[in-house]
Amino acid sequence: MKAAADGKVVADAIRAAFGDPRQVETESLPRIDLQEMMVRRSRREYRVPVTHTPLDQRDNFDVTMLTYTPEEAMAEAARCLDCHEICSLCVG
């Protein structure tokens, strides 16, 4: 998420360097109580493991790292994305 935000900052800097001072308008976000957010997000959420093709079935050039099922993708997407903003439980 931080990388996406950094990309927007860089894009604004590039536009400004070329004489285009426009900035991307963003929606204002509601105020969030930091203490409440820390309590809500203070649990480690492990990544949803990726399924692989069993070794004994790898006798071709098919993909070995399979994609998430819709349920697995939704579980992975629901994980906290506030890494290093309010905690570091999942990243270190």
Asked if residue 27 is part of any domain, the answer here is no
Asked if residue 73 is part of any domain, the answer here is yes
pTM, two decimals, is 0.47
Asked if residue 16 is part of any domain, the answer here is no
Mean pLDDT of 19-45: 68
Asked if residue 18 is part of any domain, the answer here is no
| pLDDT given for residue 60 in this prediction | 93
What does the alpha-carbon distance between residue 85 and residue 71 come to, in Å, rounded to a whole number?
Answer: 27
Asked if residue 14 is part of any domain, the answer here is no
Q: Which residue range is the domain that position 90 belongs to?
A: 33-92
pLDDT at residue 30 tops 80: no
Most confident of 6-20, 23-37, 50-64: 50-64
Asked if residue 24 is part of any domain, the answer here is no
Asked if residue 54 is part of any domain, the answer here is yes
pLDDT classification of 72: cutoffs 50, 70, 90: very high
Give the residue carrying structure tokens 């506030």. 82
Asked if residue 5 is part of any domain, the answer here is no
Mean pLDDT of 33-55: 80
Looking at the 3D structure of the chain, how many domains does it have?
A: 1
